[in-house]
Structure 1
Amino acid sequence: MNDLLDFEALKVTIASPEQIRAWSFGEVTKPETINYRTLKPEKDGLFAENIFGPTKDYECYCGKYKRIRYRGVICDKCGVEVTQSKVRRERMGHINLAAPVAHNWYVKGAPSKLSLTLDLSLKNLEAVIYFASYLAVDVDTKLQTQAYEKLEKDLAAKKSVLQENLNKSIASLETELKKQLAGLKKGSKGQGSEHSELEAADLELTTKQEIQRLRDGVVTAESQLEQIYKAVADLVKSINFMRVLSEDEYLKLYEYGVADFLTVGMGAGGLLEVLKKIDMDKLSASLREEVRKSTGQRHIKATKRLRAVEGMRGSNALPEWMIIQTLPVIPPDLRPMVQLPGGRFATSDLNDLYRRVINRNNRLKRLIDLGAPEIILRNEKRMLQEAVDALIDSNLKTTRRGAGGGHVLRSLSDMLRGKQGRFRQNLLGKRVDYSGRSVIVVGPQLRLDQVGLPREMALEMFKPFVLREVIGRGLAANIKGAKNILEMRPAEVWDILEDVTKGHPVLINRAPTLHRLGIQAFYPVLIALSATPFLAPRDEVKYSKTESPWR
């Protein structure tokens, strides 16, 4: 317990897949919550007792082990550990994703950490993540040069084929012309030579026009080929590591047989391959150099990138941790399911969001095992990405995920953010009664920075501090026990109260608070609750010789 009390700060960093598995008590593989006939949690489901702990204190799922004497025993039949049910507020599970998924906060946050780390625009980054574009994850420069040379050879070969076809067509036309001219000569015997000469001239002219048309067609075709091959060659030359390619561009490379030099990826899986290759120390050094040398917009961009990189280096986080491979499942008591009087159930929105993730993940696993076509797998991976996005933060989506009837589901981030979130509503904004109201009386013996505070009022005001100290000194094992001790008011409680109030000023507000001097801080001095002696005869208030009603 002392270890829990002795901390100075909390640090929030990205969790690695290994760390998430270390937190977890088991993998959630089924989307079911509870069995609606037995009203017991389904095994390996979102409320499974074999993962998150028993629903009843010291009783396993099947009932083989009951009572505290079996504490710590894991049932060989149902796999449930015999322990307290409160562990269901602490124990986490996990989901092994069939395909990597990008963390929504690091993609669409402002600024986008993934975008800064990879030096990709947010538009291109989202196109890759949601399977609209390809990302070059590896480029072989030697094969790239060979691909460029292959395009030149293919262009020359196609031009040669066009010329050969042209020559054959011209030869065929000339042969046909000769045959027709010979036929005219035979047919013109005994007739006027002028008529045959005119027909021959007409045939020659028609043939020449056809030959010219064919030559013009070849010139046009060669020009078009040159333009097409030049565009493909320019595309080949422009491709480098982490270049984003549209589907049309990649299909064009594939069509012309020059895609061998390039390894592409899509979705978060492609980003994961790239992130694993990044050396954060080298990237930091190069960005520092760029910040020192650049000016204007380049300087601003390099500074932002350096800040993001240094943040990850400072927390010893690896960039690939921004891609989720193992999804944590929060404890079931933090996303409860409650039975209503009519037999219906009210459940947290998180259960619906987790169920959607598990269903899509299981479907993707099954399709991978069946060897489904790539286009189907791609669509399923995109749907899994969208399901995890909705679970983590639905506000960052353009269209929020809803349940039936138009109800918008609250994501994990929605549970934390805003006025109704966990921090402001529950942690910072608890309804407490650690304050008091009283009439101010004169205390001439007090210093200017002191205020007399009745012991009972002080005990109520400093109750959280006293409870913590009671547990810290070993007088009680938990909060409930500490509260029981406070009810009994032993001498140790007053000693603890004396220690706690030292160095803890209280705020005194004098109504009406018209200016800032209406609220001032004073160090409390504990006094006994006292009353005027004139009340003694009627109310039987008795004082000892050492007591004074005016202290």
Structure 2
Amino acid sequence: AVHVPLFSGAIAEAKNLMMSSQNILSAADGHPVVAPTQDVVLGCYWLTATLGDQPADTSKLRIFSTQNEVLLALESKVVKLQEWVRVKVGDRMIVTTAGRVVFNQSLPVGRKPMDEASMEPLPFQNAHFDRKLLRVLVAELYRLYGSDVTATVVNDIKRLGFRYATQAGITVSAMDIPHPDSKWQIIRSTEKEVADVERMYRRGVMTDDERYRKVIELWQRAYEEVGKDTEEAFNKFSPIWMMMGSGARGNIQQIRQLAGMRGLMADPTGRIIDLPIQANFTEGLTVLEYFISTHGTRKGLADTALRTADSGYLTRRLVDVAQDVIVREEDCGTTNGIWIRDVTPERAKNDPIFEKIAGRVAAEDVSVGGKVLVPAGQSISDEAARAFIAAATPVKMRSVLVCEAREGVCRTCYGRNLATGKLVEIGEAVGVIAAQSIGEPGTQLTMRTFHTGGVAGVDITQGLPRVEELFEARIPKGKAIISEIDGELEIIRQEGARKVRVTSKEEFW
């Protein structure tokens, strides 16, 4: 059905709220929803690629006084897209490629941003753009120039990507798939090791459980070794490798199954079968190998059907609980807040501390080096959040968990609306947004429960069932032994790790 907004109110709503150019950032995490994918990514990846690493001696490279000269040389076929050149950009001479100069023509390089006082204009983009970097670029464009400019630039990038994906003529051929010579040597040596394990089992040296675990471990190692050799055998300009490397389509596991070996499969109960599929899809599978691989395929299809229903039901329950959480007032006036301590660059590598701090409102003055960077009651900017992490400064900030508003929550406790990058507006249904943000990726989560063959005696619950377990505060089915003895617990923090020491009060004679 086609829905046409007729009245002035409906037209205004469609223009200001529903247009795709007004919904560039996701309300769930603040990352761009509108970002290049597939062919566009592939085209941009090929366009900004380089022939080898940047040369140490740049004096022999062609020099151009303007970017237009590079484009002219490209049209005249004097230089190639991936060829290194030196070109003057602004008042600097930079080493880049002709393709990157073409890519930058679509960008507002050097244009004044919306907030000139605190923002620098977008510099010349001298990078090899894959899917991840293109997303970062879209986020940066939105931060500097707002939705209208971003929408126009993303459209230009789309045209550019399609054009150069076509010009590159990238396609898939069976000839593009290399087969590592070492594959069968690795498989034969693993078969010998497996035969030794079987012999030890028959002699009664090991149990059936130990034999099973050892065989799985040996074949897993062989799969990794073959996979590594397969990766090394690929030419980095091979069409299949570029599709995977750019993030346009496929992943390294699929390439390993295409050119290396398929590896271990699970049976209908989820138990790993200790007989691997040695062939890959290019060589073709035997009847037995094909039969073994049907288990996984069937489970995948059944999972998808079940997951959709379960995910929808979880979303419904979450919305039901959170629907009355609406931003009702400016400031509830609470003096409470939540401390984010142990703010260190090391922890920030693994823990999303930046996301926890940026966009929140400070509950107390936050100082770095004796200077107040963010006064109480002010929103913490991205730059300030980075400064706190670099200086390892603990932050006390407002949170909806301590909000004292009589109904719903207040703007100050909630902080930034991730979809706009500004402080949330009064009347925003933040509860429903939170519920849908958790429910929406639910269909992408796995429903698989891995049986690793008696390891720790408990299956690992993952994906959607685990999310449900957390929200319903259910006690997990199996309980893991945390400590063999009773006593006092001491947490020892080390760089990149955390150790736990249990000291018993019992006296052992």
Normalised-by-shorter TM-score class: under 0.3
Instruction: Give the structure with higher Rg (CA).
Output: 1
TM score, norm. by length of structure 2: 0.19
- Larger helix share, 1 or 2: 1
TM score, norm. by length of structure 1: 0.18
